[in-house]
Structure 1
Amino acid sequence: MKLSAEQLGSFLSREENLKPVFFLSGEEPLQMMEAADAIRAAAHKFGYKEREILQVDTGFNWDSLTMSSCALSLFSERKILDLRLSNSKPGKAGSNALREYVSKLPDDKILLIQTDKLDYRTKNTAWVKALDSAGVMIQVWKLSPAQTLGWIAKRLRQNNFQPSQDAVRFLTERVEGNLLAAVQEINKLQLLYGTGNLALKQVQESVSDSSRFNIFDLSNAVMVGNTHRVQHILHSLQQEGVAIQLVLWTLSDLSRQLYDACFQLEQGVNQTRVMSKIPRPRQQSFQIALQRLRQSTDWQDILSRNAEIDRLSKGQSAEGNKGVGRIWAGLLELALLLSGVNIMST
């Protein structure tokens, strides 16, 4: 059964809709996080009080899923098995384990699976089809500019604002598709103005009253290759206590966009078509980055650094817990790589 993220809230209001499997996939972190939170909250409401997290990384023993599905709770409580796939390809062992789980669904467990966006081939694999048939499959897409405009307007109204169209449009252009940043700005607007009518001037003043630098300044500095500014902005963001996940989302999203654009150009796609997918205010800076990175860029290194920083921020890296300082150092190295610096020579 397939649902959109928007349909999930009303669906979960009835206990009979609490299916044995919920499968979340996608690339937009806020919607993924909120969908998973909604499922866990509904499960808890209806008696699934315990939760076990299974993080699937290299070397994960899939037998642990089978053991967890059969294990009895010490307090006879029903349990959520929170399975987190580091990528959308679990391999042969994982595919078999997931199909086996579906064939013998436990009565006292809900399996919540979270993973990245599924490509076309993966969607048609036996394990994905088995999960879909056993429960609810929710694919979370990145929003288009028009959808982001509607999403921000709705979120403002949910927070008891009555925003003007100009206010919504300005905020939408400011966050450039980053819903985490949009929520951060809306929370700040609530602190400043409470509720009620929200005019363009109020949003502009809120944005200008924010930190000297923000994640959008960082993204632009990286694209134009201004390494001194990149270092200065990252230092300021760290001192101001900006959330690591917000900074990582910005750099990871930029990495994926640049990688996809370089790949398409290599495949002979017209540059005008490639650039049409980039918001107009960013196109000039994006083109500068594209010209710099098209040749001799080690994308495997860049993408693996993204993944490693993500694991470090969650305490799941093979390096162990290196502390917040190591995470910010990793973010700096990643930003400098995207800016055109050869890290090995620094």
Structure 2
Amino acid sequence: MRVYPDQLARQLAPLPQCCLIFGDDPWLCEQSRAAVQNEARRQGFEERIQLIQETGFSWNDLYEQWQAMSLFSSRRIIELTLPQAKPGTDGSAMLQTLMQMDNPDVLLILTGPKLAAEQTKSKWFKSLDTKGIYVPCTTPEGSQFQRWLDGRIQHYGLSLARDPREMLFALYEGNLLAADQALQLLQLLSPNDPISCEQLEQYFEDQSRFSVFQLTDAMLNNQQDKAQHILSQLKSEGVAMPIILWSLFKELAVLLQLKTALNNRQSLQSLWSKLRIWDKRKPIYQNALNRLELQHIETLLAGASAIELKLKQQGIEDWTGFSHLSILFDPRAHQKLAHIVLDQ
């Protein structure tokens, strides 16, 4: 059963046979694991065994721990870390076997990186999911991050008006660990009084973390301030320009195919599937298609090619040019800015 981190506490009484905690957000993974451990201790699981699937690991060790009598208590927690989230043939068979051997005195916690869709369809995952709960720990974005942030502000009993909340959102989006640490610090510095933007400026620096995919999504949605902010963060984090260009070319190529089809009065239905654009992302592309004409997309492709050429021939990462290119996702900017060629 899939349970999201903010719902986890309500699903732990009684404890399931196993808990699968997988994801790419370290704060959510740690908080979810701690929540399970705390509830397990409350229910009498006092002994904790930790195993890691690494070189030399034997799946018989897990089997023996499952069968062994506890030396210190009647109930035990077995934590198994799968660094690659791939138990392999032997591990898959062992996990399925254990799930057929009900043991109310053992709680199995599996942890690892984010699972791909095909992994959640595997036999080992389904056997565990049937007997337990699956907690996907993916970093919330946009409005989901705002809800998470509001919840943590309420958790710490802080008083923040709209402006400082929006500042925290901009500072820490994509970095839950830093955001939570910041809120803990605010609780110490100003536990009772309202917190202003001026105080936040004194206390914190920009610690948001973004991916190149969030950058291109912001561009497609014409979220100019957000796109420029993400681009600045990617530059400060040392993200290589070729990676950003790869993501941009990919999205522009998709846009070009979709816009060409529309101009030829073709249905996009078959293209959505062919280009692997799922329902969740269709509004993002539709937004860009409604806003941009074919010539705008061609201009963007030409601009990206110029930046790539400068990088390959001169070794120059033209961040200013990329910022300029981002602005051109707004068709109103084309009339005054499209003709400008930026030299470094």
Indicate the TM-score class for this superposition, using the shorter chain for normalisation.
0.5 to 0.7
Indicate how the Cα distance of structure 1 residues 274 and 73 shifts in structure 2: closer, same or farther if over 3 A, else same: farther
Indicate how the Cα distance of structure 1 residues 277 and 101 shifts in structure 2: closer, same or farther if over 3 A, else same: farther
Indicate how the Cα distance of structure 1 residues 146 and 294 shifts in structure 2: closer, same or farther if over 3 A, else same: closer
Aligned to 1:151: 148
Indicate how the Cα distance of structure 1 residues 112 and 276 shifts in structure 2: closer, same or farther if over 3 A, else same: farther
| Structure 2, unpaired ranges of 5+ | 246-316, 318-344
Aligned to 2:100: 103
In 1, are the aligned partners of 2:50 and 2:78 still within 8 Å (CA)? yes
Q: Which residues of 2 match residues 119-134 of structure 1 at below 5 A?
A: 119-134=116-131
Q: TM-score, normalised by structure 1?
A: 0.63
1:107 CA drift (Å): 2.5
1:289 CA drift (Å): 4.0
| DSSP 3-state at the match of 1:197 | coil
1:162 CA drift (Å): 2.1
Which amino acid in structure 2 is aligned with residue 291 of structure 1?
M
Indicate how the Cα distance of structure 1 residues 277 and 75 shifts in structure 2: closer, same or farther if over 3 A, else same: farther
1:215 CA drift (Å): 5.6
Aligned to 1:94: 91
Is the counterpart of residue 46 in structure 1 residue 6 in structure 2? Answer: no
Q: Which residues of 2 match residues 180-219 of structure 1 at below 5 A?
A: 180-207=177-204
In 2, are the aligned partners of 1:164 and 1:200 still within 8 Å (CA)? no
| DSSP 3-state at the match of 2:129 | helix
| DSSP 3-state at the match of 1:112 | strand
Aligned to 1:161: 158
| DSSP 3-state at the match of 2:204 | helix
Q: Deviations over 1:279-306 (max 9, x none)?
A: 52022564794434579xxxxxxxxxxx
How many angstroms apart in 2 are the aligned matches of 1:160 and 1:276?
32
How many angstroms apart in 1 are the aligned matches of 2:132 and 2:40?
14
Detail structure 1 runs of 4+ shifted over 3 Å in the superposition. 269-279, 284-290, 292-295
In 1, are the aligned partners of 2:167 and 2:197 still within 8 Å (CA)? yes
Aligned to 1:19: 16
Indicate how the Cα distance of structure 1 residues 59 and 276 shifts in structure 2: closer, same or farther if over 3 A, else same: farther
Q: Which one has a bigger Cα radius of gyration?
A: 2
1:276 CA drift (Å): 8.0
How many angstroms apart in 2 are the aligned matches of 1:284 and 1:162?
30
1:33 CA drift (Å): 0.5
Aligned to 1:178: 175
Indicate how the Cα distance of structure 1 residues 278 and 69 shifts in structure 2: closer, same or farther if over 3 A, else same: farther
Aligned to 1:10: 10
Count matched residues.
244
How many angstroms apart in 2 are the aligned matches of 1:278 and 1:32?
30
Aligned to 1:57: 54
Indicate how the Cα distance of structure 1 residues 124 and 282 shifts in structure 2: closer, same or farther if over 3 A, else same: same
1:146 CA drift (Å): 1.6
Indicate how the Cα distance of structure 1 residues 101 and 168 shifts in structure 2: closer, same or farther if over 3 A, else same: same
1:159 CA drift (Å): 0.7
1:10 CA drift (Å): 2.3
CA RMSD of aligned residues (A): 3.1
1:4 CA drift (Å): 1.2
Is the counterpart of residue 140 in structure 1 residue 88 in structure 2? Answer: no
Is the counterpart of residue 291 in structure 1 residue 241 in structure 2? Answer: yes
In 1, are the aligned partners of 2:46 and 2:75 still within 8 Å (CA)? yes
Q: TM-score, normalised by structure 2?
A: 0.63
In 2, are the aligned partners of 1:176 and 1:279 still within 8 Å (CA)? no
1:205 CA drift (Å): 2.4
How many angstroms apart in 1 are the aligned matches of 2:106 and 2:4?
23
Indicate how the Cα distance of structure 1 residues 185 and 270 shifts in structure 2: closer, same or farther if over 3 A, else same: closer
Determine which of 53, 69, 72 is the counterpart of 1:72. 69
Which amino acid in structure 2 is aligned with residue 195 of structure 1?
N
Determine which of 67, 78, 83 is the counterpart of 2:80. 83
Determine which of 105, 112, 127 is the counterpart of 2:109. 112
1:73 CA drift (Å): 1.0
In 2, are the aligned partners of 1:275 and 1:283 still within 8 Å (CA)? no
Indicate how the Cα distance of structure 1 residues 156 and 284 shifts in structure 2: closer, same or farther if over 3 A, else same: closer
1:197 CA drift (Å): 2.5
Is the counterpart of residue 282 in structure 1 residue 279 in structure 2? Answer: no
Q: Deviations over 1:251-295 (max 9, x none)?
A: xxx7xx46x79xxxxxxx999559989952022564794434579
In 1, are the aligned partners of 2:172 and 2:207 still within 8 Å (CA)? no
